[in-house]
Amino acid sequence: MINNKMNRYLFLIFLAALIIRFLYYPSEISFGYDQARDAYASLKAVSGDFKIIGPPTTMPDVYHGSAFYYIFGPIYKLFGTDPEVLSMFLRIYNAFGIFLVYFIALNLFKDKKIALLSSIFFAFSFEQTQYAMFLGHPALGVISTLVFYLGLSLFIFNKKKIGLSVALFGAGMSMQFHFTLINLFFVFLITAIIFRKQFLKINLKVVLLSILALSLSVSTFILAEIKYGFRTTNTLLEFLGGKSMDTTKTIQLENLAVVLKRFLHDNVYSFQTSRYLILPMLLITFYWVIRNQKYKEGGVFLFVWLFAGILPYISGGNVQTNYYFAIGASVSILILSSVVIVKIYEKYKFIGGLIFSLIILSNLKLVTSINPKGTLPEVNAQVGMHLPDEKLILDYIYQKAEGKAFSVNALTIPYKINTTWSYLFEWYGLKRYGYLPIWGGDAAEGYEGNLEVIKAQSKLPKIRFSIVEPKRGMEAWMLEEFTKDEDLFWELKEEKKFGDFVVQYRNKRI
């Protein structure tokens, strides 16, 4: 399907994707509580503490999958528990999406120009660079979602029976990486109804192979359900039955428009001029593609991909801004844009070239203006937790301590959980300076972290460092209470800022 010339093109696109994703590496890596928690759990998972459930979701008794522990864990273990190496892996991993997008588009429209253009748009997509920069399990969901749609496109448009197994495996792995991607099974059902002629041709062998592929991908969920008395299944059944739903929340159809605008802004057109026309243009484009006999079936497939992917946003009282409910859904817009541009270019080369250039420039504008600051709050809630700043903080602390014992306390988000700083001191501080501090403040029990905790201030060393994390999500009383408690026993000698962090060097009051 790919000749040597196409190989070269795809390699160049892949190289461009890597350059864009590594443009500001490692200065924009964010490392907060979620990252430290997952790092600890991943290391335990590959060190004999087998895990069958992942981190909790926002729904009680529902958890993400644990498969990502066995991806993150070996990387952490092989490369000295260094988050920068994991971040490198995730950027390369995301860039491989250009190949999957190429083949999906090729399966849908049998046009190499459309396929190649789609992969270019994926390489330059600002949204995809945000996923690539994010040090968390949802970032893995982009590729698994594309595997799902690749399998479906193989099965429906290329009549490849193996595609059904590939699709179900991709859906199961996507659910592992972020539980809300369970909505891919809804997509599967809708496509099975629309393209039922192809689905009615499957035989028992294909069914059994597909069930096996799905079972393997969701095996940890199956084990967890058996072990914990089917608590997730029961919770979901109650939710679907309306028993556990928040009655204050209503269906919010306007959320769909908000999310679609965000997709278009982060992937296609972010300039202020004519921004109000971009959403109507998307709808008109879908109508034109679906009406065109040559592109009809592919257009319907993209329509289902997009709108089934964003349906989770209609629930809730407020507009949802979180990226994770629709991981991969916006790729359908990239492929759709490629179809339109190729068609326009056939008759009006200047206009087609102009639209292509605007899309590339729009994404580059966002990449160069936003990515140096790190991931958006919609991607990573703990804004400002930059790993380079955290390393500078530890360098400052150890150099100021001059090899002497010291205690540390921090005002953290989540409140009074020292997991982030415990990991940083164990990974960076211990390896570089040879010893660990004592945690001299409150530390909530039951959370990851190995620093010794001593609450009795009289038993602590004479040197103290107080850290205030970036204040987003922090209430004023928290800072007031923290400062008051620190001032009670510790005299402030010096205060320094590192990015959005504040670090105070203190001595014990006599």
Task: Tell me how far apart the 2 most distant CA atoms of the chain are, in Å.
Answer: 85
Structure tokens given for 359: 């899309």
378 in a domain, yes or no? no
CA distances from 278 to 141, 252, 270, 334, 472 (A): 27, 21, 10, 14, 32
Q: Do 337 and 391 belong to one domain?
A: no
**What pLDDT does 244 receive?**
54
Residue in 22, 122, 10, 109 with CA at minimum distance from that of residue 371: 22
pLDDT recorded at residue 59 = 85
Closest CA to 338 of 94, 13, 62: 13
Q: Please check whether residues 166 and 312 belong to one and the same domain.
A: yes
How many separate helices (H) and strands (E) can be counted in the chain?
23, 5
Give the bridge partners for 495, in sequence order. 504
Tell whether 382 is covered by a domain: no
Cβ atoms of 313 and 302 closer than 8 Å = no
Backbone angles phi, psi at 105, to 5 degrees: -60, -40
Same-domain check for residues 420 and 350? no
Q: Is residue 274 part of a domain?
A: yes
326 and 467: one domain? no
- Name beta bridge partners: 56: 63
In this prediction, residue 247 carries a pLDDT of 47
Residue 381 placed within a domain: no
Beta bridge partners of 406: 463
Question: For 55-101, what is the HEC assignment?
Answer: CECCCCCCECCCCCHHHHHHHHHHCCCCHHHHHHHHHHHHHCHHHHH
Tell me the average confidence (pLDDT) per consecutive run of 10 residues in the chain, 510 residues long: 80 98 97 97 96 92 96 97 98 98 97 97 98 97 98 96 97 96 94 93 94 97 94 85 57 76 90 66 78 88 90 64 85 94 92 94 97 92 94 98 98 95 98 97 92 94 97 90 95 97 94
Do 244 and 238 touch, CB atoms closer than 8 A? yes
317 and 413 co-located in one domain: no
366 and 397 part of one domain: no
- Cα 144 to Cα 148: distance, rounded to the nearest angstrom: 6
Chain centroid to CA 358: 26
Q: Which of 349, 373, 397 is the last residue of a domain?
A: 373
**Alpha carbons 11 and 324: distance in angstroms, whole number:** 29
Per the structure, the count of domains in the chain is 2
User: And the tokens for 380?
Assistant: 């990573």
Do the domain assignments include residue 471?
yes
Q: What DSSP designation does 461 have?
A: -
String of b and e for 389-404 (b: at least 16 CB within 10 Å)? bbbbbbebbbebbeee
Residue 107: name the closest of 146, 57, 63, 54 by CA: 146
Name the DSSP class of 384.
T
Q: Are 373 and 381 in contact (CB under 8 A)?
A: no
The pLDDT assigned to 319 comes to 46
| Residue in 489, 469, 465 with CA at minimum distance from that of residue 478 | 469
pLDDT at 278: 67
- Look at residue 392 and tell me if it is in a domain: yes
Please state, in angstroms and rounded to a whole number, the distance separating the CA atoms of residues 398 and 404: 9
- Cβ-based neighbours of 15, under 8 Å, separated by 6 or more: none
State both tokens at 388: 């380079």
Please state, in angstroms and rounded to a whole number, the distance separating the CA atoms of residues 113 and 268.
Answer: 18
Q: Which residues of 116-138 are buried (b: 16+ CB within 10 A; e: fewer)?
A: bbbbbbbbbbbbbbbbbbbbbbb
CA 362 to chain centre: 22
The residue out of 322, 349, 373 marking a domain boundary is 373
Whether 331 and 404 map to the same domain: the answer is no
Report DSSP state, residue 134.
-
Start-to-end CA span in the chain (Å): 78
Helix (H, G, I), strand (E, B), or coil: what is residue 410?
strand
Asked whether residue 379 is assigned to any structural domain, the reply reads no
Both 359 and 496 in one domain: the answer is: no
Do 114 and 48 reside in the same domain of the chain? yes
In the sheet that 406-411 helps form, which strands lie side by side, from edge to edge?
438-439, 406-411, 463-468, 501-508, 490-498
Question: CB–CB of 404/435 below 8 Å?
Answer: no
DSSP secondary structure code for residue 468 in this structure? E
CB 324 within 8 A of CB 180: yes
B/e letters for 222-252, b = 16+ CB within 10 Å, e = fewer, are: eebbeeeeeebeebbeeeeeeeeeeeeeeeb
Q: How far apart are CA 316 and CA 383, in angstroms?
A: 24
pLDDT on residue 182:
94
Residues 95 and 191 in one domain: yes
Same domain, 363 and 402: no
Q: Which domain holds residue 93?
A: 4-373
Domain identity same for 24 and 167: yes
Under 8 Å between Cβ of 136 and 38:
yes
Q: Is residue 498 part of a domain?
A: yes
